[in-house]
Amino acid sequence: MAKTAETPTYEQARDELARVVATLEGGGLTLEDSLALWERGEELASICQSWLDTARARIDAAVESARGAAQGGDGASGG
């Protein structure tokens, strides 16, 4: 995920999402406030998922690179 001035870090989004969930679970909000919080929660969940997808892609690329280096260096076939 590209980091911009308005995009929270994974940790920031996760922590805010936890607060949103706790507030919604606590109840006592108007329907409009609940809907606004739900929408914010969906946005934060999407941001977190984007960060996780990016991290997974980086890990997969690093593992693939390491496998390629190991296979190329000793001639062994992977499996």
Q: SS3 sequence, 38-61?
A: HHHHHHHHHHHHHHHHHHHHHHHH
Q: How far apart are CA 50 and CA 10, in angstroms?
A: 9
Each residue's pLDDT tens digit, 26-54: 999 999 999 999 999 999 999 999 999 99
Residue 37 lies in a domain: yes
Residue 70 lies in a domain: no
Higher pLDDT, 45 or 5: 45
Domain of residue 49 covers 11-23+31-54
Integer angstrom CA distances of residue 55 from 7, 11, 37, 65: 16, 13, 27, 15
pLDDT of residue 40: 98
pLDDT band at 3 (very low <50, low <70, confident <90, very high): low
Residue 2 lies in a domain: no
Q: Provide the domain count of the chain.
A: 1
Residue 45 lies in a domain: yes
